[in-house]
C-alpha cells in the first residue's frame, strides 16, 4: 500500500516540473533581448523588432527592451513608432540613456534640434562621459551656429577619446570657421600624428594654412595629399590655387596641376 501510494505522487511531481519548464523556460526573456541586440548590431532591423516584441511580451515593464525596440524602429525608418517606444522606456526608467539618445535622433530627423539638444543634455547629466552624446550635441550646436558650445563639447570628447579622430576633425573645422587658425592647426597636427598616411588630415591642415596666409606650408601639405593619393583631383586643385597665389596667375606649375585635376575628373 505504501509503494502504490507513493508512485502516483512521484509522477504528479514530474509532470508539474515538465509543465513549468514548458510554460516558463529559464532565461527566455533574456535570450530574446540579447538576440534582438545582436540582430540590431547586424542591422537586421525587422528581426530585432521581432525579438524585442517577445522580450516586451514576457516583461511589459522592461525599459531596456522598449529603448532597443525604439532603436530598431528608427533603424527601420519607423520614426513614429520609435518615438513611442523611447517615451515608454523613459516612463519606466527616467535614467535610460539609450532612450534619451535614441529620442534625440528622432527629434533631429524631424529638424526639432532644440528638443534633440535637451535630450542629449539630459543624457549627459546622467552620464557626463557619454562621448556619443557629446559628439551629437556638438554637431547640433555647430549647425545652429553656436560654435563655442560646439567646441566645448568636442573638447570634452577629445579628452575622453584622445586617440579618436572625429572629435579633433570637428573641433578643428569649427576653429577654422572661428578664424582661430593656430588652434585648428594644432588639431590637424594631432590628426596627422595619429595616422601619417591620412591624406584628409593634410588636406584639412593645408586649407587652414592657406586661410591663415601661410601659403608655403599649405603647398607642402597639398603636395603630401597628392603623394598619398595621386588619383585624387582635389589635391591638384588645391595646390594649383596656392601656386597661383605664390607664383602668379600664369604659373606653369599651377597649369600643370590643373591639367592633372582634369585628368582625374575635376
Q: What is the CATH number of the domain that holds 115?
A: 1.25.40.10
Q: What pLDDT sits at residue 9?
A: 33
Instruction: With respect to residue 243, please indicate whether it lies within any of the assigned structural domains.
Output: no
| Per-residue cell: 110 | 524631424
| Per-residue cell: 195 | 595616422
Distance CA 238, CA 261 (A): 10
Instruction: With respect to residue 213, please indicate whether it lies within any of the assigned structural domains.
Output: no
Phi then psi for residue 217, to 5 deg, are: -70, -35
Instruction: With respect to residue 118, please indicate whether it lies within any of the assigned structural domains.
Output: yes
Tens-binned pLDDT, residue by residue, of the chain (266 aa): 333 333 333 334 344 343 344 444 545 556 999 999 999 999 999 999 999 999 999 999 999 999 999 999 999 999 999 999 999 999 999 999 999 999 999 999 999 999 999 999 999 999 999 999 999 999 999 999 999 999 999 999 999 999 999 999 999 999 999 999 999 999 999 999 999 999 999 999 999 999 999 999 999 999 999 999 999 999 999 999 999 999 999 999 999 999 999 999 98
Residue pair 189/205 in contact (Cβ under 8 Å)? The answer is yes
Instruction: With respect to residue 78, please indicate whether it lies within any of the assigned structural domains.
Output: yes
Instruction: With respect to residue 69, please indicate whether it lies within any of the assigned structural domains.
Output: yes
| Count of domains forming the chain | 1
| Per-residue cell: 226 | 597628392
DSSP 148-191: HHHHHHHHHHHHH-TT-HHHHHHHHHHHHHTT-HHHHHHHHHHH
Q: Which domain holds residue 93?
A: 31-127
In this structure, the dihedral spanned by the alpha carbons of residues 24, 25, 27 and 31, taken in order and rounded to 10 degrees, is -110
In this structure, the dihedral spanned by the alpha carbons of residues 49, 31, 84 and 150, taken in order and rounded to 10 degrees, is -100
Q: What pLDDT sits at residue 29?
A: 59
Distance CA 62, CA 92 (A): 8
Instruction: With respect to residue 49, please indicate whether it lies within any of the assigned structural domains.
Output: yes
| pTM listed for this prediction | 0.84
H/E element holding 205? helix 199-212
Instruction: With respect to residue 160, please indicate whether it lies within any of the assigned structural domains.
Output: no
In the chain, which ranges are continuous DSSP H helix?
A: 2-23, 28-41, 45-58, 63-75, 79-92, 97-109, 113-126, 131-143, 147-160, 165-177, 181-194, 199-212, 215-228, 233-247, 252-263
Instruction: With respect to residue 73, please indicate whether it lies within any of the assigned structural domains.
Output: yes
Amino acid at each position: 500500500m505504501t509503494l502504490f501510494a507513493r508512485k502516483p505522487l512521484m509522477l504528479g511531481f514530474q509532470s508539474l516540473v515538465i509543465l513549468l519548464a514548458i510554460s516558463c523556460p529559464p532565461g527566455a526573456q533574456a535570450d530574446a533581448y540579447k538576440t534582438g541586440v545582436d540582430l540590431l548590431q547586424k542591422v537586421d532591423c525587422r528581426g530585432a523588432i521581432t525579438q524585442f516584441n517577445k522580450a516586451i511580451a514576457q516583461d511589459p515593464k522592461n525599459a531596456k527592451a522598449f529603448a532597443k525596440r525604439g532603436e530598431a524602429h528608427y533603424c527601420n525608418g519607423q520614426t513614429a513608432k520609435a518615438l513611442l517606444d523611447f517615451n515608454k522606456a523613459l516612463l519606466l526608467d527616467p535614467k535610460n540613456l539609450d532612450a534619451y539618445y535614441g529620442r534625440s535622433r528622432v527629434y533631429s530627423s524631424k529638424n526639432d534640434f532644440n528638443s534633440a539638444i535637451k535630450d542629449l543634455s539630459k543624457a549627459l547629466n546622467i552620464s557626463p562621459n557619454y562621448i556619443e552624446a557629446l559628439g551629437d550635441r556638438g554637431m547640433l550646436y555647430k549647425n545652429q551656429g553656436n560654435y563655442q558650445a560646439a567646441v566645448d563639447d568636442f573638447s570634452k570628447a577629445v579628452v575622453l577619446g584622445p586617440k579618436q579622430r572625429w572629435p579633433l576633425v570637428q573641433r578643428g573645422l569649427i576653429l577654422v570657421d572661428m578664424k582661430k587658425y593656430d588652434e585648428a592647426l594644432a588639431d590637424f597636427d594631432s590628426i596627422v600624428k595619429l595616422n601619417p598616411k591620412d591624406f584628409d588630415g593634410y588636406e584639412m591642415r593645408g586649407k587652414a594654412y592657406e586661410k591663415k596666409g601661410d601659403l608655403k606650408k599649405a603647398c607642402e601639405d597639398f603636395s603630401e595629399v597628392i603623394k598619398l593619393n595621386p588619383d585624387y583631383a582635389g589635391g591638384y586643385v588645391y595646390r594649383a590655387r596656392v601656386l597661383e597665389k605664390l607664383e602668379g596667375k600664369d604659373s606653369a606649375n599651377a597649369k600643370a596641376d590643373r591639367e592633372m585635376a582634369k585628368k582625374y575628373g575635376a
